[in-house]
Structure 1
Amino acid sequence: MEVLHDTSHVLQVCPALLLQSFIWISLMAKGVQYDVTHIVSRMCVVRQSTVLVPCKYTSQYEQVSAAEWLYEKSPEQKVRVSQEPAFEGRVEFVQPDAGNCSLLLRDVRESDAGIFRFVFSTASGRNWTNDQGIRLEVTDAELEVKAESDVVMEGDWILFVCGSCIPSMAVPTYIWSKDGHLHEQHHGNNILVLESVELEDGGRYSCTISGHEGLNSTSAEITVRPGCKLAESFTLKHLTSSS
């Protein structure tokens, strides 16, 4: 019995597309790489500073026809850096040659925090990027205070944190002051711990970041009560802003 095959639904492939796919597979078989490397996945930057967002890309045997940086504030907010008014006059694109695609960002603002991605297109019409991108975090000299209890008594501990993260590219020195006088300096450590506090540990504490002394800092006033923890009142005062 002769079996008839219905060929009406057979996929028709364009010869030009077959040729392009063959060339593409051949290039990949030779070890050709097309990718974007952001070198780091996360960067912490001090507000008002200038940062170079590092980036490298590879595109062998194909010319780059277009390249740009994308910025994602949130999954719902994605824009082209070159077209975003908030970045106007503050960004400089390193020409995408020799595999360098770094981005220079000046006068960093808190609103710049988000994810940056470099994307380029090749002559074949393909787009290449790194889905992870670089997450930019922005910090300043804002002071956070953590204590054993709201009422600080002799023998308690107090922990101060200066800023939300430690800058990535140049590790700074954190300068801690008490009542306007130098208290301690910590290189690369934004935490100050007072263990088993005494009455004389009471006072107003603040921090600055080396190289960024012009940043406004917040301060915290600590009052240490003597004796056992029979609290009379709330003595760990709210953070107050100081220049």
Structure 2
Amino acid sequence: MLRLSGLYRFPLKSAVGECLSQATLDGLGLVGDRRWMIVDAVSGRFLTQRLLPQLTQLKAEWLGAQALRLSVAGRPELRVAVPDATAELRGVSVWSDSLQVPDAGDAAALWLSDWLQRPCRLVQVPAERARQVDTGYAEVGEKVGFADGFPLLLIGQASLDDLSARVGRPLEMLRFRPNLVISGSEPYAEDQWRRIRIGALEFRLVKGCSRCIMTTLDPQTGERSSDREPLATLKTYREREGEVYFGQNLLHSGPGELQLGMAVEVLE
């Protein structure tokens, strides 16, 4: 039987994730997931582990609708309030999308700029300023926060187990930063699913997730694999038209609740 065996939230894009036992979904995916982002102070371009592997060490704790707590070894933690309606709007970009979102203020910018040793700002996305999901895969009105392109990402546990066996060492699920992990399927069975149901919620699997150099970073240490694994192995059997795929991007039917252990039903 298929079960929901993993739930992960990433409050700050490219920072440490949170392992959850239950989660609420709203119009942008898991509540609190990728609603905050670090950007270059001048260009507004999003900053991630691709450029700054030290972000693997930055903890960002979701404190609901009130705040985000930032912490990293050797520095005092910082509580950052969710910007209110009077906050300055900042022009930022995520890949090819440009949007105006509230800036989280100078204290957060100073804390992050000092640690990262580069001028940057912290921004937050309210629902009304979220991006439209690519209409090649989604309906008009389906939105995403600061995730790369889609509100949710799913990976089968058996797929990771198979990849680990091929690489020759255990790989952490957090290398791939999914929201949902499903157990009980065959490896890569999720590639063939089109619609699933978990509890009262339905999900559409709309596009494979293309992978980059971030997967070669150890999520515990931030060190890059000298052998470029697991990306090197994935390229031998998961590459199509120059892209390497692992996991599936999802769209969801609406708000609801998820809990570990829930049964998963493949509808199509």
TM bucket, shorter chain: under 0.3
Q: Which of the pair has the greater relative contact order for Cα pairs under 8 Å at 6+ separation?
A: 2
Point out the structure with the larger helix share: 2
TM-score normalised by the chain length of structure 1: 0.19
Bigger CA radius of gyration: 1
Point out the structure with the larger strand share: 1
TM-score normalised by the chain length of structure 2: 0.18
